[in-house]
Amino acid sequence: FEIKVLTQGNWPIQSRISVRIPEELGSGFNQFSEYYKMKYQGKGLKWNPLITFCTLEGKFDENKAKIRTILIEVNLLQTAVLLLYNKTEDGKRKETYTFTEIMSELDLEEETLTGVLVSLCSMKYKILKKSNRKTRNVKTDESFAIDDSFRPKLKKISIPACSKKQEQQESEETHARVLDDRKYLLEALIVQQMKKNNKMEHTALINEIF
């Protein structure tokens, strides 16, 4: 547990994002906050989740096979989401969380949580698996679970936060694939109709297809 206190004058990084600190980290955060208030009276301390990083030890067990341990470096928001899957109720660990449940557990806004989940299940390192795998976009009606088949080549990885640009890029890529699929389908339908009718007027062809 290492703390670096930055002054806004030298590090003017503003963040209006707040998150409910996981219990595993809460005691350390609270102890340092109390210590800082006692030592520097009159000064405030605000945690910035976007530049607060944690290294988690992830254990992935696919089909009860050999467990693989991977060190995962993530920011505080990503950490809070992943640590939810360590929570137990009546001795049982909850394997799946809905978007709404995660948002409620961590007290996050919808837009913020969407970006966090995109970084964890729709980018290079897919630690979480979505209930709807047909699209990369994260929807509010989806559920999420740890992907035990996750097998990166490296034993230590760093997962970047998802920016607006990355979200937009993934959305554009999905849209492009849908257009390509429609294009091939239309071409196949046109060929099928022209084989049945050697000659057709344009209007008649459109009516047959649509």
Mind giving me the DSSP string for 96-142? EEEHHHHHHHHT--HHHHHHHHHHHHSSSS--EEES--S-SS--TT-
| Residue 37 domain-assigned (yes or no) | no
186 and 109, same structural domain? no
181 and 155, same structural domain? no
Find the CATH number of the domain harbouring 78: 3.30.230.130
| Residue 95 domain-assigned (yes or no) | yes
Q: CA 116, CA 80: separation in Å to the nearest integer?
A: 10
| Residue 139 domain-assigned (yes or no) | yes
58 and 113, same structural domain? yes
| Residue 48 domain-assigned (yes or no) | no
pLDDT tens-digit profile of 153-182? 888 988 887 654 444 444 455 456 556 666
SS3 per-residue string spanning 5-38: CCCCCCCCCCCCCCCCCCHHHHHHHHHHHHHHHH
Q: What is residue 40's predicted lDDT score, i.e. its pLDDT?
A: 84
Residue 25, token pair as written in the block? 């980290």
pLDDT tens-digit profile of 135-152? 778 888 999 999 888 888
* Percent over 90 (pLDDT), the chain: 11
Q: Is the pLDDT of residue 48 over 80?
A: no
| Residue 8 domain-assigned (yes or no) | no
179 and 157, same structural domain? no
Angle at 154 between CA 151 and CA 157, to 5 degrees: 95
Q: What is residue 9's predicted lDDT score, i.e. its pLDDT?
A: 60
End-to-end CA distance of the chain: 63
135 and 191, same structural domain? no
Q: What is residue 13's predicted lDDT score, i.e. its pLDDT?
A: 58
Q: Which of 27, 19, 21, 20 is nearest to 1 (CA)?
A: 27
Q: What is residue 38's predicted lDDT score, i.e. its pLDDT?
A: 85
Q: What is residue 11's predicted lDDT score, i.e. its pLDDT?
A: 58
| Residue 78 domain-assigned (yes or no) | yes
178 and 86, same structural domain? no
Give the structural domain span for 117.
Answer: 53-162
Question: What is the number of alpha carbons within 13 Å of residue 108 lying toward its C-beta?
Answer: 25
pLDDT tens-digit profile of 176-209? 655 666 676 777 778 777 787 877 777 777 777 6
Number of domains in the chain: 2
Pairing of strands 68-75, 156-158: parallel
| Residue 157 domain-assigned (yes or no) | yes
Q: What is residue 117's predicted lDDT score, i.e. its pLDDT?
A: 92
User: What are the φ and ψ backbone dihedral angles of 103, each rounded to 5 degrees?
Assistant: -60, -40
188 and 92, same structural domain? no
Answer whether 78's CB lies under 8 Å from 119's CB: yes
91 and 140, same structural domain? yes
Q: Which residues of 82-95 are buried (b: 16+ CB within 10 A; e: fewer)?
A: bbbbeeeeeeeeee
